[in-house]
Structures are given as structure tokens and as C-alpha cells.
């Protein structure tokens, strides 16, 4: 499922249908195809410019990407191992290398911090808390770790990342966001050094024994969203 929602409108989901005023499915002309990562970036850039100009509202975009790797502004090409065969995209978000693919809920947040706190650290902390609260609904304890961006869970007495964050801010309007592992192919992480950290694992809701649909995850993310008031 792919949805786009204007912030501060009706963000609730009832009877398995979204309010038509606030949501567009990927079959509409205004939404790029799911398989086209570059078109996704172009759409997000256009929306950010419109928010800066005051002609469009803030927006949250929930989607899934096809299998691929992305390199953030701090990314190192050496962190993509020789065994990697998936396409790689250089992107303007912060952070290093990560994997995107089916079974992963991507949330791109285009938020106008001029109307909120102009504090990037607070914004990142808000995204982190959003993920933590969402995971709590599935009885998973997500935690922050000093010096390590993302949300972590303990599995077999070792830290595993369950959600990656990478944001960009232009004239106090944000883009990019976070990726929450619901049920992706975790073997794809074996061909990179995720976020430049080789000593930790990667996990997902499914890997932790939580069987849940993407629609159920979306319900919880909408319910716990910090930007809908």
C-alpha cells in the first residue's frame, strides 16, 4: 500500500478505507510508480518546494521501495560490499548506507519546522519517539542508543536495529524520514555495512515473531503520529 496524507487533516483510517481528501493511492497520476526511486525523490523535492512557498500543506508519505541500497551524505562506497548486486542510489538524506525493499514501511515526512520548533535534534527525537510508541503497540521495546541513530531492540543479548532514520532539512522544511522493518528480506543486509556499523545486527517485526500486516502497521503509525495535531 502507498498513501500520501496532508498533515492536520483527517488522518484516521476507518473501515479499511482512507479519507479520499487526504490520501492518494499509487494508481493516481500525481504519485510516481513504486518501482521508480528517482521519481519518488523528484516528487518529494517538488512537494518540499511547494511547502516552502506556502502553496501545499505538510505531507506524510507511506510507501515501500523495490530492493535497493541508498547512500546518505555520510555514506562510504566501501560499505557496499563486493557481493552486493542490487542497484545503489546516492541520496541527499543524512546518514550512511542502508537497504530498502518490500516488507519495509518507509515514511517520508515533509514537515514545516517554521511552524514548529526550529530544532533539528528535537525533530529527529520526535521521529524516534514515534517509532518507539508504534513498536510498543506490538509489545516490542524499541530504544535509542547514544551515538547511534535509529531505533534498536535487544535480541539474544545483542543490539539489533529495527528502524533506520535519515532526514534532510531545506529552509526548515524536512524530507526523507525513516524505514521500519516489518517483514523485509533481511539477507539483503549481509551485503552492506548498515549505517557503517558492522558489529550490530538487523531485525524486523517478523524476525521477532510478530506477524502483522502492513495495513496494521499503518493503522498504528497513524494513531501514534506526532504531527496530526
Model confidence pLDDT, tens digit, residues 38-96:
888 999 999 999 999 999 999 999 999 999 999 989 888 888 999 999 999 999 998 88
Closest listed residue to residue 200, CA positions, set 166, 139, 168, 157: 157
- Res. 21 pLDDT band, cuts 50 70 90: very low
Extents of the domains making up the chain: 3-224
Active site (catalytic) residues: 195
Mean per-residue pLDDT, 6-11 = 55
**Nine-digit cell string for 46:** 517538488
**Nine-digit cell string for 47:** 512537494
**Nine-digit cell string for 20:** 479520499
So what's the pLDDT on residue 200?
83
CATH top class, domain 3-224? alpha beta
Model pLDDT for residues 108-151, shown as the tens digit of each residue: 999 999 999 999 999 999 999 999 999 999 999 999 999 888 99
Amino acid at each position: 500500500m502507498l498513501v500520501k496524507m496532508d498533515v492536520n487533516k483527517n488522518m484516521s483510517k476507518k473501515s479499511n478505507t482512507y479519507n479520499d481528501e487526504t490520501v492518494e493511492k499509487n494508481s493516481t497520476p500525481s504519485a510516481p510508480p513504486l518501482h521508480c526511486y528517482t521519481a519518488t525523490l523528484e516528487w518529494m523535492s517538488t512537494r518540499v518546494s511547494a511547502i516552502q512557498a506556502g502553496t501545499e500543506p505538510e505531507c506524510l508519505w507511506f510507501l515501500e521501495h523495490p530492493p535497493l541500497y541508498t547512500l546518505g551524505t555520510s555514506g562510504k562506497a566501501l560499505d557496499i560490499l563486493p557481493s552486493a548486486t542490487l542497484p545503489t542510489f546516492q541520496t541527499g538524506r543524512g546518514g550512511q548506507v542502508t537497504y530498502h525493499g518490500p516488507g519495509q514501511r518507509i515514511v517520508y515526512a515533509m514537515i514545516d519546522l517554521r511552524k514548529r520548533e526550529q530544532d533539528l535534534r528535537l525533530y529527529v527525537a520526535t521521529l524516534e519517539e514515534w517509532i518507539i510508541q508504534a513498536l510498543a503497540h506490538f509489545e516490542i521495546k524499541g530504544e535509542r542508543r547514544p551515538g547511534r541513530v535509529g531505533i534498536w531492540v535487544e535480541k539474544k543479548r545483542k543490539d539489533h536495529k529495527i528502524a533506520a532514520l535519515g532526514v534532510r532539512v531545506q529552509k526548515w522544511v524536512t524530507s526523507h524520514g525513516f524505514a521500519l522493518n516489518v517483514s523485509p528480506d533481511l539477507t539483503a543486509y549481509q551485503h552492506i555495512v548498515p549505517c557503517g556499523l558492522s558489529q550490530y545486527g538487523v531485525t524486523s517485526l517478523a524476525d521477532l515473531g510478530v506477524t502483522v500486516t502492513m495495513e496494521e502497521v499503518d493503522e498504528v503509525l497513524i494513531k501514534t503520529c506526532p504531527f496530526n495535531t
